[in-house]
Structure 1
């Protein structure tokens, strides 16, 4: 970013969207089948450190659910899960453990900086009794051989324009891209209710509870939201507004940008 900003002929465009980096756990594998272990792993990550060192501040901490600040019903008031080694140890004890040894499969093919993020997680987890062995996977074939296959791995999501779209893509029971296999009866019931509810206030309450369930019961660690950062020549113009659902102006730069 500093190098890009140093060039007077380069314009940097940064927008806040719903893209988030994740560490999904397959609940069909021990110890991730125990919600207390999952909670311990969530308290064992220093989210702000990841934002500062991996994203260089170009993002925000996540709260273990996939709904981002660009979504209508993003629950900004939901209590944040903070890095807390003592709470992590408490939940390990609830699981009948004094510590836990786990493998985390990572690759920069998952997201830029995933390997370094895994190492930061390893360091912060050590103080919480969470011993993380980093397994560096090849970038080539990562989405075929690691994601949905390895018990705990790195991943990312661009997010979706609506809450239902995001939840239905990756969190609904039985869908192909549910990358944890996690199921929750209350969550599934709320998902159906949210689709049918037309009253804005009630819909917001439904999606807030769903975000809370993901945070407390879910099997995905969401440490950070990542801003979309694009760069263009100052000889290229656009409307002044940039989409925040996907990179490159919602992948429409070829239609919305023009040569000055």
Structure 2
């Protein structure tokens, strides 16, 4: 089953086919510009999120454009041809859409009234590009949408600037090796290492009040919150003892 929603192309049968999409690179629609003539859509220009852009038709007439914000999706889309009465359309006549951020766009031919509206299946709302036929006008146009998304997952994630980060800690290499398997046979190798860490703390007794031989423990080592609380309690106890003597 295709990941793209069914594509409905609206317009006539003339022109040269075109296909501009970002499905291979993962790029989606970023901006659209449309030129409207008296009885047809004259030109359309599409920008994708990878920086690529293409223009189809001849840029003449009333111009309007819409730039999508990051994460903005299309919620509805309708196309019209330029048919008059019961006749068949020969060109694209209008484009209208709305978005998840309350945005809207409407570009239509200026001299003819719109006839039959063609609602388009927008799937997930993510537009990957356009297809159609064009010469000096837009003869026929269709939009490419991804189907509704049920789940997503990320693969091959890289952080290109991670190697430029200088750690703010002292680093030490414990053990390293380079191993290469030049055969088609599965090989296993275990790299093991260990390190013994010794932490030292020392205590001494000193006199801080010469009279009556009052003493307090002085700690020389790592000042953790527990050590600080212990010493503070000892000082309070000694102060209380000296005041009662």
- Give TM-score scaled by structure 1 length: 0.22
**More strand by proportion, 1 or 2?**
2
Which protein has the larger Cα radius of gyration, Structure 1 or Structure 2? 2
**More helix by proportion, 1 or 2?**
1
- Give TM-score scaled by structure 2 length: 0.23
